[in-house]
Chain A
Amino acid sequence: MKILVVEDNERVARFVTRGLREAGHTVEHANNGRDGLFIAASEPYDVIVLDRMLPGNIDGLGIIEALRKSGNRTPILILSALNNVDERIKGLRSGGDDYLTKPFAFGELLARVDALGRRSVDHAAERLLQVGDLRMDLLSRRVTRGSRTINLQPREFKLLEYLMRHANQVVTRTMLLEAVWDYNFDPQTNVVDVHISKLRQKLELDTERPLVRTVRNAGYMMSEHE
């Protein structure tokens, strides 16, 4: 993917651009708001990673508004040291697609950038999700693996749907918390892990190939390949 990173802190910028390049992406970097807006408007990108507070007369939210006004729909991940709920809502309302608080783990950033990059592919119209021999019918809410029907609680269904929609991508625990439970606080035990392991027990019988992998230091990935 082609990614633009607009970040004025040199160390954070280096950490992010290097990591994204290592993950196989093409990365451009701007270290102030004016250049950031100029580059973002002049070339198409798959994802823009944008710091909220920037030098150069225009801050992160200003860039988002300017881009959205000109019809640019590039997914934007906002980076910010401001963590309270209002700031988060403000960031997302201004046209940002996701919000990540500093400091963050690189795995979290990478997973969110990947998720945003694929979002451009429209999933909404799909009625059938499939990963390997696991199928999910979104209309009848039926889940089968091979010929076996799997019974899921509503929340488990939502969890599995999210994992399947993001198949072959890493999803983090925070992403799951936000998407499946709508909790944006930090629960003190890793409850998400227990939910995943419960789901796994239903999805993966002893003889079956595992579908959900734990990705160290990051989260989970659903994939038909091992």
Chain B
Amino acid sequence: MSRLIRSSALAWALGYVLMGLAALAAFAIPLWYAWNVTIRTGREEILRDDAQRLTEVFTREGVAGLTAHINARVGMQIAGERTLLLTDSAYHPLAGNLAAWPQDIRPTPGIRAALPDLPGQPTRTLFVETLLPGGYHLLVGRDLSRFLPLEQRFTWGLISAVTFLFVVGVVGALLIRRTLLARVQGIGQAVSAIMQGDLRHRLPLGGSEEFATLSRTLNGMLDHIEHLISGISNVSNSIAHDLRTPLAELRSRLEELALTRPPSAEAFAEIEAAVADVDRVMRMFNALLRLAEIDSGARRSGFVRVDAAAVAAEVVEYYEPVAEQKGVVFSFQSAGDAAVAGDPVLLAQAVSNLIDNSLKCVSERGAISVRVGRRADGAVEIAVADDGPGIADADKPKATERFFRGDPSRGTPGVGLGLSIVDAVAKLHGGVLQLLDNHPGLKAQMVLPVAALRAAP
């Protein structure tokens, strides 16, 4: 029961019923008042006129004349239409169609409505009492019962309207509540299922537009959560897996040292190798922490106006000697203004990761070209293209996943986080990382929209 009372649908419906009642009252009360006043005033005037005419008869013709007049009128009258009574000062009836002066009408001249208890007489009568000279009392009344059915009909109409309103309101409320509850319970069940671990479950989209919109929004949120969760579990799996290798090496190295107690020269070499293992693990951690830092978006607060071309040129210059040493043709081109709102260090790191990847995979005498330019839509494009083995189409969507390493790169140094960082940096800047075919090789390009530039200092 208390659930029913707390139900918002019911509360709303009751509110509407009350509002309907208030509207009905606001309509009926003035109507009833106006009707009553008009009719009553009209009747009173008629009675007063009637009494006035009888008084004139009395003045002209005396008691006998009035008695005769009244008797004549009573004889002609349609029964019950008019009540007439003339009495002397002691209220003894002289003429009229009332047997006695009504008990509850006080002898004061004026107008009143009363329900005198008169046997065989109408039960509701409006009276005008007049005091005639010589102590005679004249009572002129009119039966109102003729109007009773009308009033009753009005009252009944009002009552049935109220009842109808109430019933429709309550039934409607219950129906709406049932529908709402069903929809809300549907969402609740879907959410419970999801909480119990079935992340692929989605809310049904049918029904009213409002609920469909809500469901769509929730489904969008669920898609995002599912993506994040799968990302997290992938990452945890990969971390566990990728850390196992250096840690296993480290462990066996240390254990072997303890077991074999080799001569010190050899022992030192082993210890140094062990330190190198630890450094490898630390590098992975650093890259992961950096990724987490980028993903959190906190770095966005430090965005400044950066010339992407200048950043890229510096990184190119930094890698130049390495390319030279490897015999790689390394070229850099930039066209036009390439200002973006961004973090110069992160952009440099992203470009550095792309060049680093290319340098690792191109063969000797290969070619790497870096281009920075502005596209027609204003976005700045930083592209690093090489003629190495590229990335297989099937691997492209996975290439930016954490710890993903394509088959050709398995043997090379690195932890598989380079492209993840580039991707994260591009996203932080509101852009994307695209991995395209360079026929042959890979063309990795960051497209950074220029929208936020004006906001940057």
Residues of A within 8 A of B (CB): 83-86, 103, 105, 155, 181, 183-189, 191, 194-195, 197-198, 217
Contacts and interface: CB of A to CB of B under 8 A. Distances in A.
B451 interface: no
B322 A189 contact: yes
A102 to B, nearest CB: 10
B348 interface: yes
Most buried by A among B275, B298, B321, B349: B321
20 contacts: A84-B289, A84-B290, A85-B302, A85-B345, A105-B275, A105-B279, A181-B318, A183-B349, A184-B345, A185-B349, A185-B352, A186-B283, A186-B286, A187-B318, A187-B356, A188-B353, A189-B322, A189-B356, A191-B321, A198-B321
B318 A191 contact: yes
Interface in B284-307: 286-287, 289-290, 293, 298-299, 302
B345 A83 contact: no
A185 B325 contact: no
Contacts of A198: 321
B359 interface: yes
Contacts of B356: 187-189
A88 to B, nearest CB: 11
Given A183-B348, A188-B414, A191-B321, 11 more contacts: A83-B289, A85-B302, A103-B278, A183-B318, A183-B345, A185-B349, A186-B287, A189-B322, A189-B356, A189-B359, A217-B272
A195 B321 contact: yes
Contacts of B413: 188-189
Nearest to B356: A188
B405 to A, nearest CB: 13
Given A185-B352, A191-B322, A194-B321, A86 B272 contact: no
A100 B319 CA distance: 25
Interface string B321-344: 110010000000000000000000
Contact of A103 (B282, B317, B319, B349): B282
B418 interface: yes
A181 to B, nearest CB: 6
B255 interface: no
B314 A181 contact: yes
Contact of A85 (B275, B299, B414): B299
Contact of A185 (B272, B278, B290): B290
Identify whether the interface residues of B are mostly helix, strand, loop, or mixed. helix
Contacts of B279: 105
Contacts of B321: 191, 194-195, 197-198
A218 to B, nearest CB: 12
Nearest to B296: A84
B315 to A, nearest CB: 9
A85 B301 CA distance: 12
A189 B272 CA distance: 19
> Of residues B278, B290, B318, which shows the largest number of chain A Cβ atoms within 10 Å of its Cβ?
B318
Contacts of B348: 183, 185
Contacts of A197: 321
Nearest to B323: A194
Interface string B370-401: 00000000000000000000000000000000
Contacts of A83: 286, 289
A188 B418 contact: yes
Nearest to A185: B349
A191 B319 contact: yes
Contacts of A188: 353, 356, 413-414, 418
A155 B317 contact: yes
A37 B279 CA distance: 33
B45 to A, nearest CB: 94
Nearest to B348: A183
Nearest to A101: B286
Contacts of B278: 103
Contact of B325 (A84, A186, A187, A194): A194
Interface string B349-365: 10011001001100000
